[in-house]
A and B are shown apart, each in its own frame.
Chain A
């Protein structure tokens, strides 16, 4: 599933908010390939938690739907929906579809 622009916008807005509190060398880009976990990731686990919570907040504001982004594969480098910004966007889109949006 490909994420639609509204979801991508919400995630980018969460990235903007997160970057405001990160040091310059930790700031995230907005490419779908931007790594969120694993050796190429700039974020530590707390940074990832912060991002996920911000994304939930943006989705709530934009779609008026409360989704909870949790997954048992969260920290798996091959299967996690939190691998990259792109996979996160797809995961959010799936969650929204499950909520009938």
Chain B
């Protein structure tokens, strides 16, 4: 299994969850991680760096021979008004969230096609369907991820690969800790369930999506909290 963005937050939780469940996990983030786990190998790279990502997958292909699951978790967000957002921020968001997801999916699908089996899970966000003010670039980048999810699902289905997305509401992570309390409460008010999500809410859905029995579930985005 490959998981991107594993240094902290949800990514780190996913590594702990899946190594505990017996998976061999290959993860990455820009910086090295401050933890070590048996069955976990880390790559320090930028998810949109084609050469570095190519090397990572070449090594996984060489050492592991195949790949079953990719979780495109790496993502960056920025809360800002459209009129106050520098283009460099918009470019960074799209680079990590959209190009990174595209590149990892492309490389992973090549390895997955060897055994005609694969599960790709992308991360979406409730900010897209809720059209949250202040998150134009972030929500737009995740709307692109939803479109990628739907079209890759079709292009990769004949290779036995499913592609789905999970769209959590606000979780208790670094990403949301920087947001004002009132803002989070206003956001939660727009969901069916008015409370912060738990990491386990996300892993529960991913467990379902990557199960071998979920072969007929593809192209779907499951929003949490009732967005």
Contact for B62 among A50, A60, A67, A70, CB less than 8 A = A60
Look across to chain A and name the residue whose beta carbon is closest to the beta carbon of B111: A53
Cα–Cα distance between A50 and B106 once the two chains are bound (Å): 13
- The residues in A between 46 and 70 inclusive whose CB is less than 8 angstroms from any CB of B are 46, 49-50, 53, 56-57, 60, 64-68, 70
Given contact pairs A46-B158, A49-B159, A66 touches B114 in the complex (Cβ within 8 A): no
Contact for A57 among B54, B55, B61, CB less than 8 A = B61
Interface contact B57-A66, CB-CB below 8 Å: yes
Contacts of B58 in A (CB 8 A): 60, 65-66
Q: How far is the CB of A41 from chain B (nearest CB, A)?
A: 17
Cα–Cα distance between A64 and B62 once the two chains are bound (Å): 9
CB of B107 closer than 8 Å to a CB of A: yes
Cα–Cα distance between A67 and B110 once the two chains are bound (Å): 11
CB of B150 closer than 8 Å to a CB of A: no
What mask results when residues 19 to 55 of chain A are scored 1 for a CB within 8 Å of chain B, else 0? 0000000000000000000000000001001100100
Interface contact A66-B158, CB-CB below 8 Å: no
Contacts of B61 in A (CB 8 A): 57, 60, 66
| Tally of contact residues, B, Cβ under 8 A | 15
Q: How far is the CB of B165 from chain A (nearest CB, A)?
A: 23
Look across to chain A and name the residue whose beta carbon is closest to the beta carbon of B53: A68
Cα–Cα distance between A66 and B107 once the two chains are bound (Å): 11
CB of B113 closer than 8 Å to a CB of A: yes
Q: How far is the CB of B24 from chain A (nearest CB, A)?
A: 19
- The residues in B between 149 and 175 inclusive whose CB is less than 8 angstroms from any CB of A are 158-159
Contact for A68 among B107, B113, B114, CB less than 8 A = B107
21 pairs, CB–CB < 8 Å, chain A vs chain B: A46-B158, A49-B113, A49-B159, A50-B113, A53-B114, A56-B110, A57-B61, A57-B114, A60-B61, A60-B62, A64-B62, A65-B58, A66-B54, A66-B55, A66-B57, A66-B61, A66-B62, A67-B54, A68-B50, A68-B54, A70-B106
Interface residues of A (CB under 8 A from B): 46, 49-50, 53, 56-57, 60, 64-68, 70
Apart from the given pairs A53-B110, A57-B114, A66-B61, 5 other A-B contacts in the complex at a CB distance below 8 Å:
A53-B114, A60-B58, A64-B62, A66-B59, A68-B50
